[in-house]
Amino acid sequence: MNQFRFDRHERQIPYIIIAIISGIVGALMVVLAVKFTGLGAALVSPAPVQPVQPVPQQASPPEIRVEQPVAPSARSLSLNEYEQATINVVKKASPTVVMITTNTIIEEFDFFTGPGFRNVEGLGTGVIYRKDGYIVTNNHVISGLKGTAADKILVVLNDGSSYPAQVIGADPQTDLAVLKIDHQNLPTPQWADSDRVQEGQIAIAIGNPLNKQFRNTVTVGVVSAKGRAVEISSESVLRNMLQTDASINPGNSGGPLLDSSGRIIGINTAIAAKSQGIGFAIPGNTVKTVADQLISKGYVSRPGMGIRYYVLTPENTEVLEYRLRRKLPVNNGILIVQVIKNAPAHLAGLVPGDIIVKINGEPIGKEDFREVVGKYKIGTKLKVDFYRGRELKQTTVTVDELKP
């Protein structure tokens, strides 16, 4: 053990000597550096103040701006041009719109009290047509329960004054009628050329929906379509109608459908059953043509043949064959069921049971027969192809004026 410890002590002696020599050399070098390099003066003198150099700034990132809601100004709270235009239309047209009320006395029988009478009231709208008291409205507005005129018709003007009205004429085929009140210098509306109406243009309806409480109600929409056919009964179809989504309710009938300038483009007449946003108006040009004839003649002059008929279609031919107990030669055409004596058809030799299939070479199918004949002027000679039994024949019919 002693040998082990002794040997270890002898190895440490050279390291100690090296450390002492290194210390002496280092101290000597420091003394020489202080004396000959000026480092000593630097150590005892205060350090000079160095000017502060501005730190170069990095390019700032792009500023992010957040749009803040602008406080409403007087301009933003004011009416826009569209709203103001609508208001102007209403102000312009309202004085020419009237409310029409009707009363019809009907006789009825009660099991306990016996025979009696009941008053049925009606409500609609009309438009002043001429300043001397002529009013245009729908035929169904002034009709009683049996199709004749109501027993009492009253016209209420925009200022609230009311006048009894006389029926000048009515045309069930177009559902139009003209009334007359004893009043002069009435305001009249402007009429647009309804042939130039465009789908999508603004349509404004004014009328008296539901009851007197809601008179002069305004609704706004667009002209949804043109040239619509509307079946209002099994025997009557209104042709070339304007379709609109401006709300038209019971009581609006007979009121004006206006463009954005306040001109009448049509007379509201019907709404599609079980639908929303589908109403129809009679084009203004048709209204003026019919109204002028009703005022001058009391009826509308139309060319015709003087027949009553069924329209044959593939859908109803089988039913008609069953009722007639015979096979029909075609399933498209006009089946004559009555010929008026001395009317054009009677003079041309047509009889009930004949089936008209062509007029002047034009096939007669689902088109309204009156519309086809109505294209020709009174006095025009038409070549009519028809079936009698199973034989195809031809005759000439001279179109004449038919009075209602």
379 to 3, 382, 398: CA distances (angstroms) = 158, 9, 6
| Catalytic residue list contains 253 | yes
Specify whether the CB–CB gap between 159 and 177 falls below 8 A.
Answer: no
For 301-368, the DSSP string reads -EEE--EEEEEE-TTTHHHHHHHHTS--S-SSEEEEEEE-TTSHHHHTT--TT-EEEEETTEE-SSS-
143, 171, 175, 194: the active-site residue: 175
| The token pair that represents 396 in the structure block | 């000439």
The dihedral formed by the CA atoms of 75, 79, 81 and 85, expressed in degrees to the nearest 10: -160
Specify the 3-state DSSP secondary structure of 203: strand
| Catalytic residue list contains 175 | yes
Q: Tally Cβ neighbours within 10 Å of residue 283.
A: 24
143, 194, 253, 259: the active-site residue: 253
140, 143, 171, 385: the active-site residue: 140
| Catalytic residue list contains 140 | yes
Which one-letter DSSP state was computed for residue 38?
S
Specify the 3-state DSSP secondary structure of 64: coil
- Give catalytic residues, as residue numbers: 140, 175, 253
